[in-house]
């Protein structure tokens, strides 16, 4: 029933959504990965398409999910591939949403054989190098009026609460909107529901009630549409 009531406020707009979790190759049979399921990114893509947008969905390791109707799917694996695909699609996009969990580090060097254990040699140490920050680079190179949205999965720690970390991250990244999920202890990852906050660069903070990932997606597109200056339908 909700589908019938969806606004068509993104008609004619081009949006890019990244989803899933990148993998950094370690050897021919292993990788460094993360727990992102891609469900939140897919919900964002699906809802945007339902609201009339032309959607490019850059998707890392979301093979278990059915492709959202009406979105152009671009499958990628590593953070470098995801960054290249997002940058290309962002060139003529009105909104870019970085919902993917992007690896912060990649193993240094090319290993073209399986890493073997040995009783005679010391255990291997994996050296890691920083991956570039795709979101921060998008913000730096965005075209006039383009809206850039980031996601942050945070846990509180001795240095601050979930919201403290999120506010600092919004400033550091320079994006227009930051969706914050509290994670850990079975929250958010691989679940159907999501909750958190939507922080805006102008200081506005909106609590996102626990609900389906499609409802969180609708909240994000409402805010993005407002920033685009789209008339509420
Ligand atoms: N992101 C990105 N490129 C990276 C890492 C993250 O574009 N190399 C994006 C994610 O897609 C997300 C946002 O940045 O939209 C925040 O990711 P997060 O991992 O929370 O931020 P980091 O800056 O990597 O900070 P942290 O040290 O907390 O992981
Ligand atoms: Ca990170």
Whether residue 120 lies inside any domain: the answer is: no
What is the structure's pLDDT at 1? 44
34 is a catalytic site residue: yes
Whether residue 88 lies inside any domain: the answer is: yes
Average per-residue pLDDT for the chain = 93
What is the structure's pLDDT at 185? 60
DSSP label of 38? S
What is the structure's pLDDT at 171? 97
Whether residue 107 lies inside any domain: the answer is: no
Residue 96: domain span = 2-102+127-228
Whether residue 98 lies inside any domain: the answer is: yes
DSSP label of 145? T
157: domain CATH number is 3.40.50.10300
The pTM of this model reads 0.94
Whether residue 186 lies inside any domain: the answer is: yes
For the chain, how many structural domains are there in total? Answer: 1
What is the structure's pLDDT at 130? 98
131 CB near ligand 1 (under 6 Å): yes
Whether residue 45 lies inside any domain: the answer is: yes
- The residues of the chain scoring below 50 in pLDDT are 1
ipTM of model: 0.99
71 CB near ligand 1 (under 6 Å): no
105 labelled binding-site residue: no
What is the structure's pLDDT at 147? 98
Whether residue 158 lies inside any domain: the answer is: yes
């Amino acid at each position: 029933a909700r589908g019938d009531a969806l606004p068509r406020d993104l008609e004619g707009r081009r949006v890019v959504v990244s989803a899933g979790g990148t993998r950094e190759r370690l050897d021919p049979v292993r990788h460094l990965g993360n727990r992102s399921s891609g469900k939140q990114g897919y919900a964002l893509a699906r809802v945007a398409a339902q609201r009339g947008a032309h959607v490019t969905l850059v998707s890392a390791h979301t093979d278990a999910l059915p492709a959202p109707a009406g979105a152009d799917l671009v499958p990628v694996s590593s953070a470098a591939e995801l960054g290249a695909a997002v940058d290309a699609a962002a060139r003529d996009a009105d909104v870019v949403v970085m919902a993917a969990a992007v690896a912060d580090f990649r193993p240094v060097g090319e290993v073209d054989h399986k890493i073997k254990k040995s009783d005679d040699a010391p255990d291997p140490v994996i050296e890691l190098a920083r991956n570039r920050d795709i979101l921060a680079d998008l913000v730096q190179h965005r075209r006039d009026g383009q809206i850039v949205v980031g996601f942050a999965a945070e846990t509180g720690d001795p240095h601050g609460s979930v919201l403290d970390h999120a506010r600092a991250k919004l400033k550091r990244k320079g994006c227009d909107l930051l969706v914050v999920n509290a994670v850990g202890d079975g929250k958010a990852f691989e679940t159907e529901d999501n909750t958190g906050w939507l922080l805006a660069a102008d200081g506005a903070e909106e609590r996102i009630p626990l609900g389906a990932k499609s409802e969180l997606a609708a909240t994000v597109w409402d805010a993005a549409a407002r920033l685009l200056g789209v008339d509420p339908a």
